[in-house]
Each structure stands twice: as C-alpha cells, then as structure tokens.
Amino acid sequence: MPGAGTRTERRASDGCGPDCLLVDVCDPRRAHRCFLSGRMIVSGLAQIVLKTYALLTILLSPLAGLILEYRRRRGKEDPVRLMERLGRPATDRQKGLLVWVHAASLGEARAIMTVVETVVADHDDATVLFTSGTRSSAAYVNQAAPPRVLHQFVPLDFVPCVRRFLAHWRPDIAIIVESELWPVLLLATRRRSIPIILLNARLSGPSFRRWQSVRWLARSIMLTLTTVHAQNAAIGDQFLLLGLPPERLAITGSLKQSNPRLEYDRAAMRALEKTLGGRPVWLAASTHSGEEVIALEAHRLLCQRISDLLLVIVPRHPERAGEVMGAIQDAGFAAARRAEGILPQPDQSVYLADTFGELGLWYRLVDIAFIGGSLVPIGGHNPWEPGLLSAAILHGPHVENFAGIYRDLVEAGASMRVPDANGLAAAVETLTDTEARAAMTEAAHRVVTQPGAAVDAATDLIADLLQAARSR
C-alpha cells in the first residue's frame, strides 16, 4: 500500500538524515543528491535536470524574501503571512492524522471544498491542512471551511522552504487539485512515502504541449503521483502520454459538478436592482486581455438596436482594471468602476466590476453571460457557475480546459459558441427574446446538475488511505 512504513522508517531512508533538505544543516553541495536519492524515479537527462533545478532552488533561496516582497508590492501576497511561503508555519500541527489539500487558487479551492467537508465529517481523527497560493483563495477557505481545517499559504518551490513545510506538518496524505505540479514539492513529498493524489486533474492545451516537449522529464513527475482522478477520458489520455502508469488513472468526472452555488451579498444585490430598475444588462465575465475590446465592439453594435443596454465587464484579474478602463474609454463609452464604490449611472453604458468574489452577484443579476478566456487562447473558464444561476451562456471557441462540459452544453442547446464581436452581438440580441433565453437556461441547468461521481470517488480513496495510515 502507498505510504507504508513508520514515519521513523521513512526518515531513516532519506540518505543524509531527517534534515536532508535543509540547506543550513545538510551540505548544499550534496543536498540535491539527497533530494533525489533512494528509490526515486529519475534517470538520465531527467535526473540531471531535476538535480540542477533542486540545486538552483537552494542557491537562490536567499533571494526568496526579495521575491515575496516584489509580489507583496503588487498585491499578490498577504503581508502578514509571508513566512508561510518560506515554509515557516503560523500554527502548530494538530495531533492525529493530517490530510494535506493543495488548491492553487480560488476556482480550485471551491472545487475541492465538498470533498474537504466530507473528509472532516467522516473522519473525527483527521485534520485537513488546506494550502493555496492566492489571497482570494485564502479568504474563501477561511470563510467557507468547516472546523478542523487549517489554512496555510503553500511554500515556494525551493528545497529549504519545502523541507521546512513537510518536516513541520508531516502529512499522511497529499491531495493536489487539477494541475499544480511543482517538482520540488512533488519529489520531496514522495520521498517521504506520502501518497499523492491528483484530483479533478486536467492540463490546458499549452501546458500539455510544454510537458510533451519534455516527455522524458514529465515521466519523472508523473511517477510521483499515486493516483490521478481525471475529469474525462481525453485528459486521462494526456497523462498516460506523459508517462503516468495506466493502473494509477481513474476517469471520475469533474468535482465542479458538485459545487454549491456561488455566494452573493444580498444587500448589494438589492442596491443594484434598485439602481438598474429593470434596465437590460449583459455580462462579460472572467475576461482576459483582448476580450474586452471584442465585448466592447459587440456592445457598440448592440446599442444601435437595444436602447439603454448596459454591459458589465468582470475581468478575470481585477488588477488589470486600469488597462480595461483604458479600452472602455478608447471605445468611446462612459463607465464607472465598482472598486471605487460607484453604482452604474443612467448616462453610462458600461460598468467595470473590478472586484473579487462577486460573480455570484452578477450571474444572478443578468440574463446573458459571456464567459471569457474563450475568445483568446486561454482555454475557457467554468460554465457550471452561470448554468446553476440561470444565466444564458455564451463562449468563444477556446474552451479546451473544460472541453467535455462545453461539448455537452452545445449539444444540448444550452450554450452558444461565438467567433467574434459580430457573432457575440448577434447571440446577445437573439437571447433578448424571453422564450429563447428560457429554453437555453433550462437546458443548461439540466446539464450542469447531472450527478457526478467525482466526489464519491475521491472520498472513498481518501478513506482507504486514511485507514492504511491508521494501521501504520
């Protein structure tokens, strides 16, 4: 069984002792050799590359503070929790079993929360350590997680940071959500005989192509994974092509099918409904650079045919607000910014919603939603959220990250694919018809509420691994 052997036995096999990966205890000249020694999985060129990478992280570790300070100034790090990113914990490890769950950002954190809630409810002797890498995901976990769930920021992928993190927390199981495959983190975790589960696994098109170009290296990473639960068979095939052994793969569907509806602020909803007073509104959600220009051109065409129409733009990254506002002004529209506390005004036809965590509000407020990351080659974003909240779904051709669910939506007449600004304008105009829109939203709701097996498969596997850990 993966993870067998006592914790003492695990440490005793670490080559240069329990502090092997700590640069200030183990000789840095051989720390990278210790890091990749034992029964690990690397050979040939892959071994050379991974050893070099590990050694570089040791040599560059004195710069970790500067990296974090740069990110803090850009608003990407919590200034009071920087030590966690260095692997220095903010709290003690709880007694008993520890399930470590890592979700890179807010979307992944939301996807895994049902699994986390089930693990805590079913296993009284287990605590969940939930790590993530963004401030928005940290805020969500701290607000939404049940008792016995601790949040920490994930350490930088530097050998000293990872070693400190693992030495303190000593997880019994590691769960990674979707595609966060950091070499040091994976290799160091596997060396401690900690089973690593990749849940809701997926690879974007560009990510898969990058890994495929270095398949000799990808195989070493794939072999660190104990089990992979892929969202669909096409994604599973990608992992097999990169070197994952077939017996470690299961096709379980997407965890996001089990997500609860997005939260929203009821007072904010009432204020916006009062301000808008029945005004027609459409939404461009989770947009990326280049998509706002397309949405604005579509809006220009629509305003010639639909009076008093309002476009709400929610950029995927609110820090791009200045760039987006520039595009709005260049297109000749008057606009207000939500981050400045201003509500849409009657003389403004565009509203920039440059805030975090309010998509639940906008999907409830509008009838029609274009989902971004799809008119530019990003790979698309989650369509379950608007589908659950009865917003008619429009999207571009680039939906590789969610190919299965978008295919199901299109085949069911539950979404519309648009190629450009003209197509987007035509689709929005079509969906101003109440009957056409109702048919689409009802079809979408049926598709996105189909029962999924991903949560049951994940919790069953975790239960088996925890039982094995209890017997050690």
* Residue linked to tokens 């920039």: 352
**Which one of the listed residues 9, 69, 84, 108 is annotated catalytic?**
108
Report CA dihedral (113, 116, 117, 120) to the nearest 10 degrees: -160
Q: What residues does 394 pair with on adjacent strands?
A: 370, 416
Among candidate residues 147, 180, 186, the one with its CA nearest the CA of residue 165: 186
Q: What residues does 177 pair with on adjacent strands?
A: 199
108 annotated active-site: yes
Q: What is the 3-state secondary structure (H, E, C) of the chain?
A: CCCCCCHHHHHHCCCCCCCCCCCCCCCHHHHHHHHCCCCCCCCHHHHHHHHHHHHHHHHHHHHHHHHHHHHHHCCCCCCCCHHHHCCCCCCCCCCCEEEEEECCCHHHHHHHHHHHHHHHHHCCCEEEEEEECCHHHHHHHHHHCCCCEEEEECCCCCHHHHHHHHHHHCCCEEEEECCCCCHHHHHHHHHCCCCEEEEEECCCHHHHHHHHHCHHHHHHHHCCCCEEEECCHHHHHHHHHCCCCHHHEEECCCHHHHCCCCCCCHHHHHHHHHHHCCCCEEEEEEECCCHHHHHHHHHHHHHCCCCCCEEEEEECCHHHHHHHHHHHHHCCCCEEEHHHCCCCCCCCCEEECCCCCCHHHHHHHCCEEEECCCCCCCCCCCCHHHHHCCCEEEECCCCHHHHHHHHHHHHCCCEEECCCHHHHHHHHHHCCCHHHHHHHHHHHHHHHCCCCCHHHHHHHHHHHHHHHHHCC
Catalytic positions are: 108
